[in-house]
Amino acid sequence: METNAFRPDVVVALDIGTTKVCAIAGRRNEYGKLEILGVGKVDSEGVLRGVVSNIEKTVNAISDAIGIVRRSTGVDFKVVHVGIAGQHIKSLQHRGILTRDNDHTEISQRDIDRLITDMHKLVLPPGDKILHVIPQEYTVDNEQGILDPIGMSGIRMEANFHIITGQITASNNIHRCVERSGMRVANMTLEPIASAAAVLSEEEKEAGVALVDIGGGTTDITIFQDGIIRHTAVVPFGGNVITKDIKDGCNVMVQQAEKLKVKFGSAMSEEVYDNRIITIPGLKGRDPKEISEKNLARIIQARVEEILDYVVWEIRRSGYERKLIGGIVLTGGGALLNHIDKLSEYHTGLPTRIGIPIEHLAHGYNEQLSNPIFATAIGLLLKGIEDLEAGKVRIEAPPVQEKQPSQIEEEETAMAGGKWYEQLFRKTKEWFEAEPDSEF
């Protein structure tokens, strides 16, 4: 395969999760479907509840995942589309008003962009920034409930906006990690929005649906109605908490708890009929441990029910509790638990299905992608391709770079014991730590 070729139509998405870092390269084929060219998935260690906690470990994971994709596709790329999640994500509703100076011309995209720009001027709590401004419905000259005002004529245009905010530090850390692994962030999408793009159909978004993405560190919730995002929330619980419960409840090690959950776990204890006994080897010559499958399911069920309680609370808070004809769609690694869809139906009273992100994929895709854990990455890829086609992002051919003399000098300085300020710091430290004067 040709290596390091540059292809402007290839987009790369990066899902930095609590349990895995996943990079996916793909493009839209001539039939409008998504063609996946390469997938790189590695374990993640530097992320806690969806937020980067250790930059060094995250940079290594990103570099490994991107390296796998580079090798498998033979394509060189410098730009990635990244997702953001975490407990710091908040959503609020706001109303914007625009008085147009000319009623002879129709409302254009420019007018909508002006309204959106106004929303970015909102005063937020310190340390927060706006991630997305999503228009809901418009009012033109007191004519309400308009979904697309472009082409209408009118003087006064109002709009309801769903505004999603997040912490500046969380977003800066993601930027820092990506840049330190030699990439550039094209844009940042909220992970629940990306997952929704990958697994929900247009009919479901129209009918009203809650997408619940149960990841390793967080559970992301997105509620759609009339094809519009109505509510978003991130709950700081996920699959890792279930593993921790198994570890404490069965008195085993974390790795064993994770294997028990994946291999034998069930979200409903009533569905476990042949109550098998699972034997786990003991530590260094100790007796093996025996765990009953039903007890394991009881531990899992208790925690999954707690996560579902949060989901129900968020659905009620959104005010769309009675309007979700499509019910709940579960995705993410947590959706792989046996009978979790059945438990969700019993616990929430809403019809539930498992969402697999193959809705937009071209035929002949790799079987491993037919898995809810890839929902966010494939969704980010779709968003990246949309931005590329809309002209919001330009992927330029990387220039053949020669090292500048200053760059070489800087690198040599770094090699010779760190940058100048590190040397200064070290000398100062040595001076302070020198032997105290005998007179004092």
How do residues 377-429 score in pLDDT, each as one tens digit? 888 888 888 888 777 666 555 554 444 555 544 444 444 444 555 555 565 55
- The most confident of 104-108, 118-122, 287-291, 310-314, by mean pLDDT: 310-314
Exposure string for 64-95, b = 16+ CB within 10 A, e = fewer = bbbebbbeebebebebbbbbbbbbbbbbeeee
Number of Cβ within 10 Å of residue 423's Cβ equals 13
Q: For position 362, what pLDDT does the model report?
A: 75
3-state SS class at 229 = strand
Give which of 250, 359, 349, 238 is closest to 303, Cα–Cα: 238
Q: For position 320, what pLDDT does the model report?
A: 84
**pTM for this predicted structure:** 0.80
In this predicted structure, the answer to whether residue 242 has a pLDDT above a threshold of 50 is yes
| Beta strands 47-48; 156-167: pairing state | unpaired
Helix (H) or strand (E) holding 225: strand 219-225
Q: What is the DSSP track for 302-350?
A: HHHHHHHHHHHHHHHHHT-GGG-TT-EEEESGGGGSBTHHHHHHHHH-S
pLDDT tier, 233 (very low <50, low <70, confident <90, very high otherwise): confident
CATH superfamily of domain region 201-357? ATPase, nucleotide binding domain (3.30.420.40)
Q: For position 169, what pLDDT does the model report?
A: 86
- Do the Cβ atoms of 16 and 47 come closer than 8 Å? yes
Cα–Cα distance, 160 to 225 (Å, whole number): 14
Number of Cβ within 10 Å of residue 116's Cβ equals 17
Distances (CA, A) of 148 to 109, 159, 208, 228: 10, 11, 19, 12
pLDDT tier, 201 (very low <50, low <70, confident <90, very high otherwise): confident
Number of Cβ within 10 Å of residue 363's Cβ equals 8
| Residue scoring higher pLDDT (409 or 224) | 224
Distances (CA, A) of 150 to 97, 161, 338: 16, 17, 47
pLDDT in tens, 29-68: 888 778 888 888 888 777 777 677 777 888 888 888 888 8
DSSP state of 384: H
Domains in the chain: boundaries: 90-167, 201-357
pLDDT in tens, 68-97: 888 887 777 788 888 888 778 888 888 888
Domain 90-167 has CATH 1.10.3260.10: no
Q: For position 309, what pLDDT does the model report?
A: 92
Q: For position 424, what pLDDT does the model report?
A: 55
CA 189 to the chain's CA centroid:
7
3-state SS class at 164 = strand
Q: For position 313, what pLDDT does the model report?
A: 92
Give which of 244, 240, 174 is closest to 18, Cα–Cα: 240
In this predicted structure, the answer to whether residue 132 has a pLDDT above a threshold of 80 is yes
Q: For position 178, what pLDDT does the model report?
A: 85
Give which of 300, 299, 311, 295 is closest to 344, Cα–Cα: 311
Q: Determine the average pLDDT of the residues in 170-195.
A: 85
pLDDT in tens, 258-296: 888 888 888 888 887 877 888 888 777 788 888 888 888
3-state SS class at 294 = helix
Cα–Cα distance, 279 to 264 (Å, whole number): 12
In this predicted structure, the answer to whether residue 2 has a pLDDT above a threshold of 50 is no
- Do the Cβ atoms of 218 and 236 come closer than 8 Å? yes
Contacts of 391 (CB under 8 A, 6+ apart): none
Q: Which residues pair with 164 in a beta bridge?
A: 91, 132
Cα–Cα distance, 372 to 330 (Å, whole number): 8
Cα–Cα distance, 312 to 235 (Å, whole number): 12
Q: For position 6, what pLDDT does the model report?
A: 61
Q: For position 425, what pLDDT does the model report?
A: 58
Q: For position 86, what pLDDT does the model report?
A: 79
Q: For position 141, what pLDDT does the model report?
A: 86
| Beta strands 219-225; 228-235: pairing state | antiparallel
Q: With pLDDT > 90 as the criterion, what percentage of the chain qualifies?
A: 2
pLDDT in tens, 352-366: 888 888 877 777 777
In this predicted structure, the answer to whether residue 432 has a pLDDT above a threshold of 70 is no
Q: Determine the average pLDDT of the residues in 238-261.
A: 87
Instruction: Give the residue ranges of DSSP H helices in 129-183.
Output: 168-180
Q: For position 35, what pLDDT does the model report?
A: 83
Cα–Cα distance, 77 to 88 (Å, whole number): 31
In this predicted structure, the answer to whether residue 312 has a pLDDT above a threshold of 70 is yes
Q: For position 396, what pLDDT does the model report?
A: 58
Q: For position 14, what pLDDT does the model report?
A: 86
Cα–Cα distance, 1 to 5 (Å, whole number): 10
Q: Determine the average pLDDT of the residues in 307-320.
A: 89
- Do the Cβ atoms of 333 and 356 come closer than 8 Å? no
| Beta strands 79-84; 11-16: pairing state | parallel
| Beta strands 209-214; 277-280: pairing state | unpaired
pLDDT tier, 172 (very low <50, low <70, confident <90, very high otherwise): confident
Q: For position 43, what pLDDT does the model report?
A: 82
Mean pLDDT of all residues belonging to the chain: 80
pLDDT in tens, 136-152: 888 888 888 888 888 88
